[in-house]
């Protein structure tokens, strides 16, 4: 009975470990003509507090238990209180029994348009759309948490991804770009709908099996590499149905460099079929796959 309790607490702890944020926010306004750079410093500070102090999950965690992530905002144009630019979102999670952190999410949103008045209060209400700035940030916070949870327990991030989808649905009538399928095919609308679509389940499953295998590397490196290879080959099925899928690109934007590193070092395993598969599934990274040493 005692062993069952310990296992249960370990399982719950693994999920809880991935439910709050430790986010570094950077606002780069060097391209802006506005001489008042202080407003952008205030924005950076306000966003940092908003992201890291908002209770996204109902779990009160210590600082060292939170998900490490970053948001790099580049402002390009502005007029009074209206601004536009891009936002790069990245997140990672620790690998068991190591000091290594593995990238989970790496996405560049080019439809970052918002209204902001210095010192305005940033508050998230999941039932209303009040601010595009808050909506975008809250959307990505939930995506980060959802994908992180998926990496620990199979598809356990669904509740957070559904929260992100709710934000997207509320924002569609706002008129801001990035929330609608009419705004392009690689935006927030498609990101969250694809993540929750059964058609693309293999991407979320690949993330779970891949990262679970990373957790076992300190115990059996060769067996873990075989498991990572199997997880990546699992994307072939989806590719045959949805070649060059947007969500596949999102996955490899985070993982491609790590994949090269994993399979370029020993102990060696057969990767000829894997490289062939990677070139089919992610041809945009073919130059990287060609550097894998085997």
Q: pLDDT, tens digit, for every residue of 23-64?
A: 999 999 998 876 678 999 999 999 999 999 999 998 777 777
Which positions ≥6 away from 31 have C-beta within 8 Å? 74, 75, 76
Position 101 in a domain? yes
- Eight-class DSSP state of 268: P
**Which residue range is the domain that position 59 belongs to?**
20-188
Structure tokens that stand for 240 in this block: 């045959």
The verdict on whether omega for the bond into residue 267 sits within 30 degrees of 0, i.e. cis, is yes
Strands 101-115 and 82-94: antiparallel
102 with 230, same domain: the answer is no
Do the beta carbons of residue 117 and residue 193 sit within 8 Å? no
142 with 271, same domain: the answer is no
Q: Domain ends where: 156, 188, 220? A: 188
Does residue 10 have a pLDDT over 90? Answer: no
* Order of all β-strands in the sheet with 82-94: 21-28, 67-79, 82-94, 101-115
219 with 169, same domain: the answer is no
**Residue carrying the six token digits 């290594």:** 100
pLDDT of res. 37: 85
236 with 93, same domain: the answer is no
Which positions ≥6 away from 22 have C-beta within 8 Å? 52, 63, 66, 67, 68, 69
User: What is the average pLDDT across 92-108?
Assistant: 96
154 with 209, same domain: the answer is no
More confident residue, 67 or 15: 67
Burial 147-170 (b: 16+ CB within 10 A, else e): bbbbbbeeebbeebbebbbbbbeb
Does residue 5 have a pLDDT over 80? Answer: no
Does residue 94 have a pLDDT over 90? Answer: yes
227 with 166, same domain: the answer is no
Pick from 49, 69, 87, 93: nearest CA to 188 = 87
Does residue 13 have a pLDDT over 80? Answer: no
pLDDT of res. 293: 80
105 with 216, same domain: the answer is no
> How many CB atoms are located within 10 Å of the residue 35 CB?
6
93 with 170, same domain: the answer is yes
pLDDT of res. 151: 96
Pick from 69, 68, 73, 21: nearest CA to 43 = 73
Q: Domain ends where: 135, 159, 188? A: 188
Position 196 in a domain? no
pLDDT of res. 52: 94
Position 231 in a domain? yes
65 with 93, same domain: the answer is yes
User: What is the average pLDDT across 8-36?
Assistant: 68
Q: Domain ends where: 188, 221, 250? A: 188
Q: Tell me the per-residue pLDDT of 223-276, one tens digit each, with 9 for 90 and over.
A: 999 999 999 999 999 999 999 999 999 999 999 999 999 999 889 999 999 999
122 with 54, same domain: the answer is yes
pLDDT of res. 35: 66
Average pLDDT, the chain: 91
Complete DSSP assignment for 15-26: HHTTSSEEEEEE
pLDDT of res. 60: 74
More confident residue, 187 or 5: 187
Position 44 in a domain? yes
50 with 110, same domain: the answer is yes
Position 6 in a domain? no
Does residue 1 have a pLDDT over 80? Answer: no
Instruction: Write phi, then psi, for 130 (nearest 5 degrees).
Output: -115, -25
Position 155 in a domain? yes
Structure tokens that stand for 10 in this block: 């370990």
Percentage of the chain exceeding pLDDT 70? 92
User: Picking from 138-147, 205-214, 265-274, which range would have the lowest pLDDT averaged per residue?
Assistant: 265-274
pLDDT of res. 64: 74
User: What is the average pLDDT across 106-115?
Assistant: 97
Number of domains in the chain: 2
Position 12 in a domain? no
Do the beta carbons of residue 71 and residue 114 sit within 8 Å? no
183 with 208, same domain: the answer is no
pLDDT of res. 80: 85
Position 193 in a domain? no
Structure tokens that stand for 142 in this block: 């939930």
pLDDT of res. 266: 82
Kindly indicate the confidence band of residue 133, based on its pLDDT and cuts at 50, 70 and 90: very high
């Amino acid at each position: 009975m005692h062993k069952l309790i310990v296992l249960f607490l370990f399982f719950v702890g693994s999920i809880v470990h991935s439910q709050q944020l430790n986010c570094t926010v950077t606002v780069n306004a060097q391209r802006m003509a506005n001489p008042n750079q202080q407003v952008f410093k205030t924005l950076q500070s306000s966003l940092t507090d908003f992201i890291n102090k908002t209770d996204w999950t109902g779990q009160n965690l210590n600082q060292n238990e939170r998900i490490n992530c970053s948001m790099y905002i580049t402002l390009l144009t502005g007029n009074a209180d209206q601004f536009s630019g891009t936002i790069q979102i990245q997140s990672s999670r620790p690998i068991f029994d190591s000091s290594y952190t593995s990238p989970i999410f790496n996405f560049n949103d080019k439809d970052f348009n918002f209204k902001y008045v210095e010192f305005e209060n940033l508050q998230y209400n999941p039932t209303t759309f009040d601010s595009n700035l808050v909506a975008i940030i809250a959307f990505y916070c939930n995506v980060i948490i959802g994908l992180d949870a998926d990496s620990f327990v199979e598809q356990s991030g669904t509740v957070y991804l559904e929260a992100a989808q709710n934000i997207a649905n509320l924002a569609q009538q706002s008129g801001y770009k990035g929330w609608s399928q009419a705004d392009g095919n690689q935006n927030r609308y498609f990101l969250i709908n694809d993540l929750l679509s059964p058609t693309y389940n293999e991407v979320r499953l690949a993330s779970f099996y891949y990262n679970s295998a990373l957790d076992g590397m300190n115990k059996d490196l060769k067996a873990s590499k075989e498991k990572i290879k199997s997880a990546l080959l699992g994307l072939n099925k989806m590719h045959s149905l949805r070649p060059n899928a947007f969500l596949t690109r999102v996955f490899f934007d985070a993982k491609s460099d790590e994949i090269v590193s994993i399979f370029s070092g020993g102990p060696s395993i057969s990767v000829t079929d894997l490289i062939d598969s990677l070139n089919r599934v992610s041809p945009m990274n073919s130059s990287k796959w060609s550097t894998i040493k085997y």
